[in-house]
Amino acid sequence: MRLVLVGPPGAGKGTQAQVVAAHLGVPHISTGDIFRANVAGGTDLGQQAQQFMDAGELVPDSVTNAMVADRLTHADAAGGFLLDGYPRNPGQAEVLQELLARTDLELDAVVELVADHETVVQRLLERAAKEGRADDTEEVIRRRLDVYDEQTAPLVDFYRQRGLLRTVDGVGAVDEVSARIIAALPSANA
Ligand code: AP5
């Protein structure tokens, strides 16, 4: 199964991706996690990404697409993957489509996790108090939400037009949301 999980910051992509990837036996590939690991490790990639992440802006496509192209060549992704946080704009979606087409592959589904702004801001402020993630300040959260609306939300139509979109309510208990996602996947309906 080749899946993409899309949704605003705080919708629960990372939380749900872990559960769903384990259920499907595919790797959970989070571009945000890869960037954060590189920032923590002080790598060149981390240095290129950090200023954009700290401001709530997207890391440039040239950097992000190359990183994902490399990650998808790892052996564990050969049988499928769950991409969390990528693609994040129509240009990245085109690149992903081209990358998969090189080996005659395509996505099976794109799950859109929906949650209202008030819920996601509350979740992220709670996480800020507990974990202190650098981009969980109120100002940067607001910018991340604007970036989602401006740059990532158009992907919903892009994938709807291709018949891949499954929209899932992301508000509720974590296990309830996981069950909704799994029920929405193509194999569960086959
Ligand atoms: P990324 O790490 O992808 O951050 P994000 O999209 O802002 O997402 P979050 O991790 O904040 O939220 P989430 O939806 O994963 O929710 P989570 O499960 O964590 O990206 C960070 C940055 O990296 C970007 O701003 C950008 O700079 C860069 N980047 C990444 N990908 C890129 C790309 N493709 N192109 C360019 N730049 C890119 O949950 C959030 C909180 O809510 C947690 O505390 C969780 O415990 C809680 N929670 C989750 N579900 C529930 C629930 N059902 N009920 C109650 N609480 C819940």
Whether residue 59 contacts residue 49, with contact meaning beta carbons closer than 8 Å, is answered with yes
List residues near ligand 1 (CB under 6 A): 7, 9-15, 31-32, 35, 52-53, 56-59, 64, 85-86, 88, 92, 123-124, 127, 135, 144, 172, 174, 177
Distance 136 CA to ligand 1 centre (A): 10
- Nearest atom within ligand 1 for CA of residue 173: 53
- Nearest atom within ligand 1 for CA of residue 35: 23
| Known active-site residue 127 | yes
Residue 188 pLDDT: 46
- The CATH H-level (homologous superfamily) assignment of domain 2-30+80-184 is P-loop containing nucleotide triphosphate hydrolases (3.40.50.300)
| Known active-site residue 88 | yes
Residues paired with 82 in a beta bridge: 3, 28
Q: What is the pTM of this model?
A: 0.97
Domain spans of the chain?
2-30+80-184
How far is Cα of residue 11 from the mean position of the Cα atoms in its chain?
Answer: 10
Task: Output the tens digit of pLDDT for each of the chain's 190 residues.
Answer: 999 999 999 999 999 999 999 999 999 999 999 999 999 999 999 999 999 999 999 999 999 999 999 999 999 999 999 999 999 999 999 999 999 999 999 999 999 999 999 999 999 999 999 998 999 999 999 999 999 999 999 999 999 999 999 999 999 999 999 999 999 999 744 4
Cα dihedral value 123, 127, 133, 135, nearest 10:
20
Residue 74 pLDDT: 97
Q: Tell me how far CA of residue 166 lies from CA of 17, 37, 139, in angstroms.
A: 15, 30, 31
Backbone angles phi, psi at 149, to 5 degrees: -60, -40
In the set 133, 143, 160, 180, the catalytic residue is 133
